[in-house]
Amino acid sequence: MEDNPEAASTSGERPSGEGLEGFALDLDALGTGAELLDGRGIILGVNAWAQRLLARPAAELVGQDEHDLLHRDRQGGTLPRAQCRLRKAILAGETAQTTGEWAERGDGSLLRVSWLATPCELGDGRRATLVLFHPESAGQPASRLWGAGAPITELERLALLAEATTVLAAGRLEVDETLERLVDLVLPRLADWAVVDLITERDEVWRFAVAHTENDEVVRREDLEGALPPVPRESPMPLARALRGAASTAAEPETYQGPLDSGIALEQRRLFAETGMHSAITAPIRGPREVMGALTLGRSEQPARFTAADIALLEDISRRAGIAVENARLYQGQRRVAETMQRHLLPQMPYVPSLELTVRYAPASDASQVGGDWYDAFALADGATALVIGDVVGHDLDAAAGMAQLRNMLRAYAWTRQRRRPSKIVERLDEAASHIAEISMATMIFARLEVTGEGRCELSWTNAGHPSPLLITHDGLVHDLTGGHGVLLGVAPDRARTDAKTTLPPGSTLLFFTDGLVESPSRSIDEGLYRLRREAAALAHRPLESFTDRLLSRARAPGSDDDVALLALRVPHRLGPPEDVSRRPAGG
């Protein structure tokens, strides 16, 4: 981050543009970037912080359309007005905040910022919008860049609470990630030390974090973290009261001197001694239904003791943290149930002579998105191996149940109709599913793999609206197996389907996958397929397990909200004669 903007700017420099006469708020008194915008988004005034952060003088900012001048996407391109959240807040006259926005500085570089916009009134009664913004530098939250020690103004307090709401409620976080964001939020702006104690789901107390800042970096004291003694029912000590849900309490080293009533009080005495804190406040982290833990802020370097306003601010932040932690716990519980259900629905892989076969399943980011993605592979009585990849339309328990129905029906048809072409089996499945299975539509590839007496590996398949499988040679050439395409299951059950056939070269890898691997809100399916082909070619020489793991991690788009199923098969460089595998036990 650059030097303090106030040291390099003229504190009183403010344009005398139209609309500022009689406006009582001094923008330069705010310890963060500030802009005043009219109802059209035109900049009426900026403070010294904003000028330095944006590398633009006031004369270049005032009178300009704020969106056109500053707002950019992450690549530096012009952000469409329809996607501008700040503009929507201005037009609606509402308070709003967000993180991860981009502004173009005067030198052409991009500044990643968080902002809070709130309506205000000018001196003549006209409405305007005050925008406070903070840089997100090197992955650090804005609160760490405000500078520690100075009293917090009311506007800074509101901005910090708005940031707490945004940061703690962002996405579907795990409990650990939520608590780590909480620590980053309060250090060092509010304190030199932050201590988070968590009541576990077994009603035990775990000291999750003891953290402080050194050279603008959060450093953990892992030697002070870990399990704590039980919470006493009647103890008047601050931490014990907070963990029982009592109001925030101030403490100091003297609080824990003399005879103590519990083991947890002894741990607090040790905490004060090890950290050098001279003043601390502790607030309960309370969720909607129960107390989740406690947050303690302590000062050792900042000389000022905590005030009543600091306690009120801590209580506001801890309430938001409690809601976030409880939501994170609920999310984790739902995710465990969903993953367990999905994995139990997916089959174990069979033993396939001379061939390597592996599968992967990655659940959706949303715990409720159980999904209908599935894979299957099973030996047929004539020695061939059936390979399946599919995706039932929908992301709920109904989709997962429909997936299980289709899989079981397909196994039955494939087993009883020996040596039938894949297309005929899927035609029969489609016809029956329209009357029996509880699904609307599904995509699927059903393939039949045979090793001939001459040692060739023959693959025949039919495709019901699914992404084409890839064939990757040992030399890194990637081929899309585009043949055998037909409509989705459930669209036209009476329509005839076609087959395709190919020989798998020695050393090649056959990859079946679902669309969650290549499609996401952040990129098109064409972009995803291009990346998948490139990564598959680069990994062609890897052992199959490594190939599959790395391909999944590299090709899947960050933030993908869909589950992914993969089935990969590796052909050895030399194949022996086929074996009778009809009575082989299934294996993992």
Write the secondary structure of 41-58 as one string of H (helix), E (strand) and C (coil).
CEEEEECHHHHHHHCCCH
What is the predicted pLDDT for the residue at 7? Answer: 33
- In whole angstroms, give the CA distance from residue 253 to residue 194: 16
CB 137 within 8 A of CB 21: no
∠ CA(578), CA(582), CA(587), 5° rounding? 95
Half-sphere exposure for 49 (CA within 13 Å, toward CB): 20
What is the predicted pLDDT for the residue at 83? Answer: 83
What is the predicted pLDDT for the residue at 508? Answer: 96
- In whole angstroms, give the CA distance from residue 472 to residue 479: 6
Least confident range from 51-60, 394-403, 449-458, 578-587: namely: 578-587
DSSP state of 143: G
At residue 141 the predicted structure's pLDDT band, cuts being 50, 70 and 90, is very low
- In whole angstroms, give the CA distance from residue 236 to residue 255: 11
Higher confidence at residue 64 or residue 416?
Answer: 64
Give the position of tokens 């009647």: 234
What is the predicted pLDDT for the residue at 434? Answer: 75
Sign of the Cα pseudo-torsion (81, 86, 88, 91, in order): negative
Q: Which amino acid is at 24?
A: A
Percent of the chain residues topping a pLDDT of 70? 79
Torsion of CA 60, 61, 65, 70, to 10 degrees: 100
State the maximum Cα–Cα separation within the chain, in Å, rounded to a whole number: 94
Smallest CA-to-CA distance from 403 within 427, 374, 430 is with 374
What is the predicted pLDDT for the residue at 500? Answer: 97
- In whole angstroms, give the CA distance from residue 283 to residue 46: 37
Higher confidence at residue 121 or residue 268?
Answer: 268
At residue 490 the predicted structure's pLDDT band, cuts being 50, 70 and 90, is confident
What is the predicted pLDDT for the residue at 117? Answer: 85
At residue 85 the predicted structure's pLDDT band, cuts being 50, 70 and 90, is confident
The mean pLDDT of the chain is 81
Least confident range from 216-230, 290-304, 318-332, 545-559: namely: 318-332
Smallest CA-to-CA distance from 390 within 371, 410, 374 is with 374
pLDDT of residue 194 exceeding 90, the answer is: yes
Give the position of tokens 């716990």: 329
Element (H, E) at 442: strand 442-451
Q: What is the DSSP string of 500-550?
A: EEEEEPTT-EEEEE-GGGT-BTTB-HHHHHHHHHHHHHHTTTS-HHHHHHH
At residue 350 the predicted structure's pLDDT band, cuts being 50, 70 and 90, is low
Q: How far apart are the first and last CA of the chain?
A: 52
What is the predicted pLDDT for the residue at 132? Answer: 87
What is the predicted pLDDT for the residue at 273? Answer: 93
Smallest CA-to-CA distance from 401 within 364, 439, 433 is with 439
90's tokens: 């201005």
126's tokens: 């006209």
- In whole angstroms, give the CA distance from residue 356 to residue 352: 7
29's tokens: 């008194």
What is the predicted pLDDT for the residue at 560? Answer: 67
What is the predicted pLDDT for the residue at 54? Answer: 92
pLDDT of residue 581 exceeding 90, the answer is: no
Percent of the chain residues topping a pLDDT of 90? 36
Q: Is 471 left (phi over 0), alpha (psi -120 to 50) or beta?
A: beta
- Residue 556 φ then ψ, to 5°: -70, 135
- List all residues 6 or more positions away from 85 whose beta carbon is below 8 Å from its beta carbon: 96, 98, 101
- In whole angstroms, give the CA distance from residue 335 to residue 341: 10
Most confident of 152-156, 192-196, 326-330, 358-362: 192-196
What is the predicted pLDDT for the residue at 369? Answer: 52
- List all residues 6 or more positions away from 394 whose beta carbon is below 8 Å from its beta carbon: 372, 402, 439, 440
**Beta-bridge mates of residue 98:** 115
Higher confidence at residue 400 or residue 14?
Answer: 400
Whether this prediction's pTM lies above 0.75 is answered by no
Smallest CA-to-CA distance from 281 within 320, 308, 262, 319 is with 308
Element (H, E) at 7: helix 5-8
SS3 508: coil
CB 351 within 8 A of CB 418: no
What is the predicted pLDDT for the residue at 77? Answer: 86
Higher confidence at residue 57 or residue 148?
Answer: 57
At residue 171 the predicted structure's pLDDT band, cuts being 50, 70 and 90, is low
CB 1 within 8 A of CB 145: yes
SS3 269: helix
Sign of the Cα pseudo-torsion (339, 345, 350, 355, in order): negative
